[in-house]
Structure 1
Amino acid sequence: MNVVKEINSINKRELSQGADYSGSWHDEYKDSAYIFVGGLPFDLTEDKDSGKSKGFAFIQYEDQRSTILSVDNLNGAKVLGRTLRVDHVKNYRQPKHAISEETEEPIFNAIPKQIKADKKKDPEYKLKKMKKYGIDPEDPMAEYLLKKAKSNSRSHKKKD
């Protein structure tokens, strides 16, 4: 609880002085997109290895500026009767399985690989395909006609 009070006190002092983030205590953590969240209710977290709750988590943000907002706004918040401790993490060390393929060194503050969307499930993709084949998207049989048109297109390509 002392850490929560200390962080809140630093934030209040900084706000009262009117300091912008260029002189902020957060600048020390500008190279890390990770935060530590402690005091989580045990019903919310689960360790996949043991099946038991830990009560804490490390979170990585895509944009480091989000860590400042989290620390400022969530530190000291109450969740299910427990007070959260939210703080920056300077040098987060990835779990042992996070090793760089090129250098075989541990990866620190790595950005997770982006998940590619399946373009075939994208409505815009379907609309473009329907236009290509001259199918009215409002037609109740549009999906069927699109599948049939694609199938016919593939069979013509195979014959060539």
Structure 2
Amino acid sequence: MNPITNIKNQNKLNEREIAMGIAGDLSRSWHQVYKDSAWVYIGGLPYDLTEGDVISVFSQWGEVVNINLIRDAKTGKSKGFCFLCYKDQRSTVLSVDNFNGISLLNRMLRVDHVEEYKVPKYKEDADDETKRLWEEGCAPKAIELPDMDEEQIKKAKKRLKKQQRAVPRLETNDEELLTVLQARKKAKKEKKKEKKQKKKEKKRLKKELKLRKAENPDGDWNADGKLLDVGAKSEADLYGENKHFDFGKKVEEKGKEWNERPDFEKADWRLIEQWKIIREQEKAAKAAKGESTEAWAEDKGYLPNRIRRNN
């Protein structure tokens, strides 16, 4: 049967269960037939996906314990379908109901139950360990601890401590290794001393703060307590200069003292027109002040003698 037809028929079963009001009741659902199998079939996979990609997509419905992505025996390329096993059989119901008919990388997936999963026969020369992994999976198995009383647990802890103490220490004649170990011991001791000194300083500051509170109980000792370890300082020393609080002060904005003349051969016509307007405004301002508005004298420093005008 066409895979798309199977997908449609499967979705119709789910719609019928919703209409009958038995959706979610596994005892009356069509999923009950596959209650003893935690394997699902996944078809229509993109050929570029690996086992890890498939697990990352389908692991949102439960813990995956085994996967068998069918590959070509000669080339090793994926054939586009696989068998996947969940740790809990209820995860198969979720994956079948939610992923059957979805589009993954522009390909429609077909997800269905597998009633009886059989180990693939395309690798008959596989060793026993590989076959066991195919059948049982590679998920970590739960460790079964024996039932122990509280007294037995305490005794076991004591034995473990004794074993740890009985471990022989490292004995070596290597001078470099010994120097490194000695340096580490010294560093640990220095850290301990620093911690002790910090604790002593904190205790001393607390005592001073209590004495000052007793002398003047009406004072604001919260702010004063913060400055005990650093000493009283001014605001400028603590926060530095802050121009945000310079209210009312005039800020002198320095403008251009001269009008830069553009290169008429290379400049855009808009810049030239702007320069002309600014130049006319400067002339009008000079005329209002009674200054001369004659053109600038020719800059002789930039002209060679053979080009200079002889006036």
Q: TM-score, normalised by structure 2?
A: 0.34
Unaligned runs of 5+ in 2: 51-68, 142-160, 170-311
What is the CA RMSD across the aligned residues, in angstroms?
3.5
Distance 1:32 1:60 in 2: 9
- Residue aligned with 2:79, SS: coil
Who is 1:57 aligned against? 82
Shift of 1:91: 0.5
Structure 1 residues 99 and 14, CA, compared in 2 at 3 Å: closer, same or farther?
Answer: farther
SS in 2 for 1:94: coil
Letter in 1 for 2:92: T
Report the counterpart of residue 167 of structure 2 in structure 1.
154
Query: Does structure 1 retain, via aligned residues, the 8 Å contact 2:41–2:111?
Result: yes
Displacement of 1:15 after TM fit?
Answer: 1.2
Partner of 1:135: none
Structure 1 regions of 5+ residues with no counterpart? 117-131, 133-149
Q: Is the 8 A contact 1:74 1:86 kept in 2?
A: yes
Q: Structure 2: how far apart are the matches of 1:40 and 1:54?
A: 8
Contact 2:46 2:80 in 1 (8 A): yes
What aligned pairs does 1:91-130 form with structure 2 within 5 A after superposition?
Answer: 91-96=116-121, 110-115=135-140
Instruction: Check the 8 A contact 2:72/2:78 in 1, yes or no.
Output: no
Match of 2:19 in 1: 16
Per-residue CA deviation, residues 68-101 of structure 1 (Å, 9 max, x unaligned), is 0010000001001100000000000023579989
Report the equivalent of 1:32: 37
TM-score, normalised via structure 1 length? 0.63
CA separation in 1, counterparts of 2:93 and 2:29?
Answer: 10
Query: Going by fraction, where is helix more abundant, 1 or 2?
Result: 2
Superposed CA offset, 1:121-158 (max 9, x none): xxxxxxxxxxx7xxxxxxxxxxxxxxxxx7x85216xx
Q: Distance in 2 between matches of 1:59 and 1:113?
A: 12
Aligned equivalent of 1:84: 109
The sequence identity of aligned pairs, in percent, is 49
Cα distance between partner residues in 2 of 1:29 and 1:110: 17
Larger radius of gyration: 2
- Amino acid of the structure 2 residue aligned with 1:67: T
Supply the distance in 2 between the matched residues of 1:64 and 1:4 (Cα, whole angstroms): 21
SS at match of 1:76: coil
Runs of 4+ with >4 A deviation: 96-101
Give deviations 1:28-60, integer Å, cap 9, x for gaps.
000000000000011114728432121001000
CA distance in 1, matches of 2:127, 2:136: 13
The number of equivalent residue pairs is: 122
Displacement of 1:16 in angstroms is: 1.3
